[in-house]
Amino acid sequence: MKNELTVLMKLKDTIVEHIGDYLASSLTIVTEDNVAIKWPSVDQMKKRVMFYIQPDYAEYEDLATTNDLSTFHVKVFIFCKRGPQSTLEEEGYGYYNALYELMRRNMTLDGYVDFLAVTSADFYNAVDATGNVSGTEVNISIQYTKDFD
């Protein structure tokens, strides 16, 4: 059964499995350790580069007695830590552009959802007071059929 949690897990798996196809050669490969479904925390980053996936809100339309059309809004935070500010900004844009291209080329998460789109992005040159972390907040809208019994 598809629901918000399974869609979040599929988004995470898709990022881990495919983002390497779109990363510039100067960027570190993203693995399972770099992507988490949790609220972003600069202090608890497992890796120097992290993707944090967070649900935002969902909207529903009746389709039938056994399913609804769901539009699920998700935020993906990309944090880059420890390095010169100019390097952090370049890395941040590099990871964002790789995520954006992946989402544009895989709008169904390998056929799991009906459609997704990156709707906006906010760029932060400094996430913490030290300026040692840059970040991007990416808003993604995901449409899928939410089945229930």
What residue spans define the domains of the chain? 4-147
What stretches in the chain show pLDDT beneath 50?
none
Collapsing DSSP to helix, strand or coil, 123 comes out as: strand
Strands 35-36 and 49-62: parallel
Classified by CATH at the fold level, domain 4-147 comes out as Alpha-Beta Plaits (3.30.70)
pLDDT reported for residue 26: 87
Cβ neighbors of 139 (< 8 A, separation 6 or more) are 56, 73, 74, 75, 118, 119, 120, 121
